[in-house]
Structure 1
């Protein structure tokens, strides 16, 4: 019994260690795209799928966000990133396609994504430093990459508020996209455990377009969550709510396993209940004695 408990503890520790170096990924677009959500994917596999979708140049603007130093647990409630959550949960009616991956194992190459958009779609780049809260008041006509780099989230009590502020800044930037134009949002994250995420993982292109007119973002986004309804404030939405873990395949497998165990139990019980006297294994010599006497 103690050995089995130890095995379960070791298995749980291995699972926690396996997901320590993972982080979520979010994809939303106002264009019709084939996008399938998943619980876990490797960074290389996800990069291939995303690059394939973007190679068709489905939008006019591509908002590429990099948020280092997060885990899927940071997005466990609606208050963490309410505006991003609205796009992923279908509350934003302009969004036609969305995809989320809870755990991305390995880092995605953001430069590769930008390279695909630059070569295939001839898109120019507008870089925004999320740590300053400044962004262009307007964007030129696409195709254009809006490259947003957020700082690593702190580990203290300001972690949730910083993520909410970043969510508000991202929402304001998207609102600056001219109406009537399609856009695709790629929210790429990376966990803090990677040494590369202690600082900026990549540097923006030096020759990227910068608008001379900027706007200082001085808004308090903490009031967004307090203005929500009582029903929403009492409910918590996790990344895992969109996935079905008890699938029909798992159910049929459990049923088949249960039936096999019952059959095995009945068979072993039947064999164990057999009672044969020891005399049954002795040779019957009475018939031979009668023949000799005759």
Structure 2
């Protein structure tokens, strides 16, 4: 049964691949939190649920990992984030509450979650820049919010490796926490796709409304076809030897070959001129009698 709740993300990602302006959300806590996983949620409803849970100040440390540029399909493989996956699938005995949202419509910002913890729990914040390559293990007094700013994932072959390295960094930070009462919140933003190469458009209106996010795409295929037509030759635009024309030429070849053989046979016939003269010999006269 534990084969993986985390692997359900892979199945859910396949069915919700059409939502390209969404990204996943993960939560793992050593405290008892009433949380339920879901396939699709808006950022507003997710924030409301987190506000209710975090207002009770269940942990000493709150590790908020901000991972930009990802999609649910990035976590379809077990090796994408194995350490986070272990906490979400029950392999870590310290974890008592988990939450997985495959598709979050909208942007759940770090400052929104951070403001809840600072105002309701009086927590202080430590920011760790993952691109710096080092961080301090002196997190200070509790309650403490540890914000891990991760770099956006590349679109090439290094994508999976970078995601795995970020997962290792988060695990290392959690391992250095002085207290075992912690909550991990993995916040993400939508990724850019290789096929269109353009970032996902995000509405700039009120964050507490439910904006309908649409991918603004422009069709450049007509322009590319027009440019190719302008620069190409006549042989690229037209097909001079079609299959029908080619078959007709072959049939004509055999037809003329047969005619040539027939005329050659007729012309090769040789008849002596004497064959058309009347035979006046005595033998011929006897035959006529």
TM superposition score category, shorter chain reference: 0.5 to 0.7
Deviations 1:24-63 (A, max 9, x none): 0000000001010001100111011011100110000000
SS in 2 for 1:111: helix
Match of 1:270?
none
Q: 1:58 to 1:159 in 2, by over 3 A?
A: same
How many residue pairs match? The answer is 181
| Mapped contact 1:70–1:190 kept (Cα < 8 A) | yes
| Mapped contact 2:109–2:187 kept (Cα < 8 A) | no
In structure 1, C-alpha distance between the alignment counterparts of 2:17 and 2:88, rounded to whole Å: 26
Deviations 1:195-235 (A, max 9, x none): 57xxxxxxxxxxxxxxxxxxxxxxxxxxxxxxxxxxxxxxx
Match of 2:182?
183
RMSD: 1.6
Deviations 1:41-89 (A, max 9, x none): 0011101101110011000000011101000111011100000000000
Q: 1:107 to 1:138 in 2, by over 3 A?
A: same
Match of 2:62?
62
Match of 1:262?
none
Residue 194 (str. 1) matches residue 200 (str. 2) = yes
Match of 1:140?
140
SS in 2 for 1:34: coil
SS in 2 for 1:79: coil
TM-fit CA distance, 1:156: 0.4
Counterparts of 1:31-50 in structure 2 under 5 Å? 31-50=31-50
TM-fit CA distance, 1:112: 1.4
| Mapped contact 1:47–1:109 kept (Cα < 8 A) | no
Residue 27 (str. 1) matches residue 27 (str. 2) = yes
Q: 1:140 to 1:70 in 2, by over 3 A?
A: same
| Mapped contact 1:138–1:176 kept (Cα < 8 A) | no
Residue 165 (str. 1) matches residue 148 (str. 2) = no
SS in 1 for 2:35: coil
In structure 1, C-alpha distance between the alignment counterparts of 2:175 and 2:162, rounded to whole Å: 20
Match of 1:87?
87
Match of 1:212?
none
Match of 2:71?
71
SS in 2 for 1:102: strand
In structure 2, C-alpha distance between the alignment counterparts of 1:16 and 1:63, rounded to whole Å: 28
* Structure 1 unaligned residues grouped into runs of 5+: 1-14, 197-294
SS in 1 for 2:70: coil
SS in 1 for 2:65: strand
Superposed structure 1 runs of 4+ greater than 3 Å apart: 193-196
TM-fit CA distance, 1:141: 2.8
In structure 2, C-alpha distance between the alignment counterparts of 1:42 and 1:137, rounded to whole Å: 35
In structure 1, C-alpha distance between the alignment counterparts of 2:60 and 2:161, rounded to whole Å: 31
| Mapped contact 1:23–1:103 kept (Cα < 8 A) | yes
Match of 2:231?
none
TM-fit CA distance, 1:16: 4.8
SS in 2 for 1:136: coil
Deviations 1:150-176 (A, max 9, x none): 111000000000000000011000001
Q: 1:111 to 1:39 in 2, by over 3 A?
A: same
SS in 1 for 2:94: coil
